[in-house]
Amino acid sequence: MSFLKEIQRRRTFGIISHPDAGKTTLTEKLLLFGGAIQEAGAVKNNKIKKGATSDFMEIERQRGISVATSVLAFIYRDKKINILDTPGHKDFAEDTFRTLTAVDSVIVVIDVAKGVEEQTEKLVEVCRMRNIPMIVFINKLDREGKDAFDLMDEVEQKLGLSVTPLSFPIGMGYDFKGIYNIYGKKINLFSGDNKQTISEGIEFDDINNPELDKIIGEKSAQTLREELELVYEVYPEFDHQKYVEGKLQPVFFGSALNNFGVKELLDCFIDIAPNPQPKKAEERLVDSKEDKMTGFVFKIHANMDPKHRDRLAFIKIVSGIFKRNTPYLHVRHNKNLKFSSPNAFFAEKKEIVEKSYPGDIVGLHDTGNFKIGDTLTEGEILNFKGIPSFSPEHFRYVNNADPMKAKQLYKGLDQLMDEGVAQLFTLDMNGRKIIGTVGALQYEVIQYRLEHEYGAKCTYENIHVHKACWVQPEDEKSEEFKEFKRVKQRYLAKDKQGQLVFLADSTFTIQMTQQKYPSIKLHFTSEFE
Ligand code: G4P
């Protein structure tokens, strides 16, 4: 198959949702369609169980399984589909943000009864900022939930999206009869008392066809006609270009658990979802069709076996063909590296691969060369953008609890930070180290892993910080900047890249600081124009 065809048949995407909306169930059903797994329940173990907020052993278990489910690839209708797993647990939100830099589109799952939830809002905002094409799947239609129109309003208002339904439910909960597939102009009905069997789609070019009344009953047919009329009146027609640009989001309805509406979603998805997209580097825009290989690290996974310090770095191929045993330039280190056993992922298996194409994810064994955001090329100096750090939510001083093991502690901290477990800040004033995390759980994970993988011990000490703000002065030599640095001295630190960070203790402080020093911009992410 030609290089171009290989690119065109790839769909690399992520599924995002608030925990419990049905992401795992949907993933599993998609894999079943692709023939990648034979039975339901295979992906399920990947979930961090509810109530596991302080159970870091659960996290360790999760870490082991999640290597296998980081990328789930399968072939469907000759398309190579790569699903990138995104952790649902909010304490790992940053991991999800980073994974979103490697997807070409996303599917957003929403629970019909709960509507738009907090975690969905945050994740969709990140996708919206990057204009990532999104499809919305409203799940659990077998249960009583919100009215379809109200839900679409909620999606538009709370998520700032502009939607158009491509399928529409016929009834809901107890009365749920099936789905009208607007995209394929078909009706699919649930049949059987237990609503587990699905009829083959019945084609309906004309919704006014009296046959409809016979099939779903006069009342339901009437309601459906009225609702569809409203749909056509209120919502814009599906426009592929707008969807790809992230300006229009198609909506599907269904029930992942009952496997209903999933095939419609998948069939439409592979038709409309974009193949690997160009990606911005600091130097230039890189197109997937370029023949020279480029790729970047978006995730690093530590080995589960503490005796082996090697890790798996996940690379998204942006352009060209990645080949085994070929030297590639590690741009940050300016050195060539060869990989003798690059892993490709297929369903839950990983295997050594000779060639990978744009859109694919390759797992590279790493002994500490990589950190998140690193770029590999065939020699060109390129730095892919878009993997910023976000301000952590929690901050604590980290202290060495075993003076004999200082070296191990710093090495451990260094590597865990490269993996993206948390962020390390060093106070300008006295060199003290502060760890910032998205969730409180990470502190336990760090302590546990330092001890078990590096033989080091640490303790934490509270510090009152509200947000980390990356500092961007208009003029580094200005009097204003000098004064800012003098007055705020106690609250200034460097992140791991050496960028200046202001650790603000409240929103009020941030506002006052911005007012007092208008020429100094404060950012909540480490990457800005
Ligand atoms: P998540 O990955 O987004 O966190 O959600 P997950 O798929 O694990 O689904 C959360 C719960 O919702 C599960 O039930 C799952 O069975 C259920 N669910 C998913 N899709 C549907 C659907 O279409 N209809 C209905 N009624 N339920 C659905 P659980 O009781 O938490 O887990 P389990 O015991 O069933 O595994």
Per-residue pLDDT tens over the stretch 320-358: 999 999 999 999 999 999 999 898 877 666 788 899 999
Q: What's the confidence (pLDDT) of residue 371?
A: 87
Question: Does residue 89 line the site of ligand 1, with CB under 6 A?
Answer: no
What distance lies between CA 8 and its chain's CA centroid?
22
| Residue of 23, 24, 25, 114 with the most ligand 1 atoms within 8 Å of its CB, for mutation | 25
| Helix (H/G/I), strand (E/B), else coil: 129 | helix
Q: Is the pLDDT of residue 192 over 50?
A: no
Q: Is residue 265 domain-shared with residue 333, that is, in the same domain?
A: no
Q: Is residue 315 domain-shared with residue 265, that is, in the same domain?
A: no
For residue 445, name the pLDDT band (cuts at 50, 70, 90).
confident
Is residue 507, in this structure, part of any structural domain at all?
Answer: yes
User: Residues with Cβ < 8 Å from 177, sequence gap 6 or more?
Assistant: 170, 171, 189, 190, 216, 220
How far, in Å, are 249, 286, 343 from residue 328 at the CA level? 38, 17, 16
Q: What's the confidence (pLDDT) of residue 401?
A: 94
DSSP code per residue over 91-108: GGHHHHHHHGGG-SEEEE
Is residue 30, in this structure, part of any structural domain at all?
Answer: yes
How far, in Å, are 46, 265, 365, 521 from residue 207 at the CA level? 42, 21, 56, 56
Is residue 114, in this structure, part of any structural domain at all?
Answer: yes
Please give, one letter per residue, the 3-state secondary structure of 178-197: EEEECCCCEEEEEECCCCCE
Q: What's the confidence (pLDDT) of residue 229?
A: 92
Average pLDDT over residues 276-299: 95
The last residue of one of the domains, among 346, 377, 408, is: 377
Question: Does residue 201 line the site of ligand 1, with CB under 6 A?
Answer: no
Helix (H) or strand (E) holding 24: helix 23-33
Q: Is residue 265 domain-shared with residue 295, that is, in the same domain?
A: no
Average pLDDT over residues 469-497: 94
Q: What is the CATH number of the domain that holds 513?
A: 3.30.70.3280
C-alpha 155 – ligand 1 centre gap (Å): 21
Q: Is residue 257 domain-shared with residue 286, that is, in the same domain?
A: no
Q: What's the confidence (pLDDT) of residue 347?
A: 63
C-alpha 21 – ligand 1 centre gap (Å): 7
Q: Which domain holds residue 199?
A: 3-68+104-272
Which residue's alpha carbon is at the smallest distance from atom 24 of ligand 1? 140
Q: 425: which 2 tokens?
A: 């800040």
Q: Is the pLDDT of residue 166 over 70?
A: yes
C-alpha 255 – ligand 1 centre gap (Å): 10
425 neighbors 493 (Cβ within 8 angstroms) = yes
Percent of the chain at pLDDT > 70 equals 87
Average pLDDT over residues 417-441: 90
Q: Is the pLDDT of residue 527 over 80?
A: no
- Nearest atom within ligand 1 for CA of residue 47: 2
Q: What's the chain's average pLDDT?
A: 87
Q: Is residue 170 domain-shared with residue 27, that is, in the same domain?
A: yes
Residue with the larger pLDDT of the pair 45 and 386: 386
Helix (H) or strand (E) holding 285: strand 285-286
How far, in Å, are 201, 218, 284, 479 from residue 231 at the CA level? 21, 20, 42, 59
Which residue's alpha carbon is at the smallest distance from atom 14 of ligand 1? 20
Each residue of 422-431: pLDDT tens digit?
899 999 999 9
Spell out the alpha helix ranges (H) of 160-276: 211-216, 218-234, 240-244, 262-272
Average pLDDT over residues 309-329: 92
Long-range contacts of 430-434 (CB under 8 A, 24+ apart): 432/397, 433/397, 433/398, 434/395, 434/396, 434/397, 434/398, 434/463, 434/465, 434/493, 434/503
Residue with the larger pLDDT of the pair 394 and 63: 394
Is residue 313, in this structure, part of any structural domain at all?
Answer: yes
Q: Is the pLDDT of residue 420 over 90?
A: no
Question: Does residue 145 line the site of ligand 1, with CB under 6 A?
Answer: no
The last residue of one of the domains, among 348, 377, 406, is: 377
What distance lies between CA 392 and its chain's CA centroid?
17
Helix axes 262-272, 23-33, angle to 10 degrees: 80
The last residue of one of the domains, among 246, 272, 298, is: 272
- Nearest atom within ligand 1 for CA of residue 21: 3
Q: Is residue 212 domain-shared with residue 116, that is, in the same domain?
A: yes
Average pLDDT over residues 403-414: 92
> How far apart, in whole angstroms, are the C-alpha atoms of residue 449 and residue 417?
12
Q: Is residue 15 domain-shared with residue 164, that is, in the same domain?
A: yes
DSSP code per residue over 401-412: S-GGGHHHHHHH
How many other CB atoms sit within 10 Å of the CB of residue 523? 18
> How far apart, in whole angstroms, are the C-alpha atoms of residue 275 and residue 396?
42
Question: Does residue 22 line the site of ligand 1, with CB under 6 A?
Answer: yes
> How far apart, in whole angstroms, are the C-alpha atoms of residue 360 and residue 102?
10
Q: What is the CATH number of the domain that holds 263?
A: 3.40.50.300
Q: What's the confidence (pLDDT) of residue 21?
A: 92
Amino acid at 107: I
Is residue 85, in this structure, part of any structural domain at all?
Answer: no
Name the DSSP letter for residue 281: B
Each residue of 116-146: pLDDT tens digit?
998 899 889 889 988 999 999 999 998 889 9
Is residue 386, in this structure, part of any structural domain at all?
Answer: no
Q: Is residue 149 domain-shared with residue 290, that is, in the same domain?
A: no
Q: Is residue 432 domain-shared with residue 372, that is, in the same domain?
A: no
Is residue 403, in this structure, part of any structural domain at all?
Answer: yes
Q: Is the dihedral of CA 393, 397, 401, 402 positive or negative?
A: positive
CA angle 392, 396, 398 (to 5 degrees): 125
Each residue of 46-70: pLDDT tens digit?
444 444 334 555 665 565 555 556 7
Model-level pTM?
0.84
Name the DSSP letter for residue 384: B
Which residue's alpha carbon is at the smallest distance from atom 34 of ligand 1? 44
Q: Is residue 247 domain-shared with residue 133, that is, in the same domain?
A: yes
HSE (side-chain half, CA atoms, 13 Å) at 208 = 1
Residue with the larger pLDDT of the pair 82 and 390: 82
For residue 39, name the pLDDT band (cuts at 50, 70, 90).
low
Of 51-65, 202-216, 500-514, the least confident: 51-65
Q: Is the pLDDT of residue 508 over 60?
A: yes
Q: Is residue 346 domain-shared with residue 442, that is, in the same domain?
A: no
Name 349's bridge partners. Answer: 346
Looking at the structure of the chain, the number of domains it has is 3
Each residue of 224-283: pLDDT tens digit?
999 999 999 999 999 999 999 999 999 999 999 888 888 889 999 999 999 999 999 999
- Nearest to residue 421, comparing CAs of 315, 263, 300, 314? 300
For residue 199, name the pLDDT band (cuts at 50, 70, 90).
low
Is residue 81, in this structure, part of any structural domain at all?
Answer: no
435 neighbors 443 (Cβ within 8 angstroms) = yes
Amino acid at 244: V
User: Residues with Cβ < 8 Å from 135, sequence gap 6 or more?
Assistant: 105, 106, 107, 108, 249, 250, 251, 252, 265, 268, 269, 272, 273
Q: Is residue 414 domain-shared with residue 469, that is, in the same domain?
A: yes
| Residue of 16, 18, 20, 49 with the most ligand 1 atoms within 8 Å of its CB, for mutation | 20
> How far apart, in whole angstroms, are the C-alpha atoms of residue 223 and residue 221?
5
User: Residues with Cβ < 8 Å from 398, sequence gap 6 or more?
Assistant: 413, 433, 434, 435, 458, 459, 460, 461
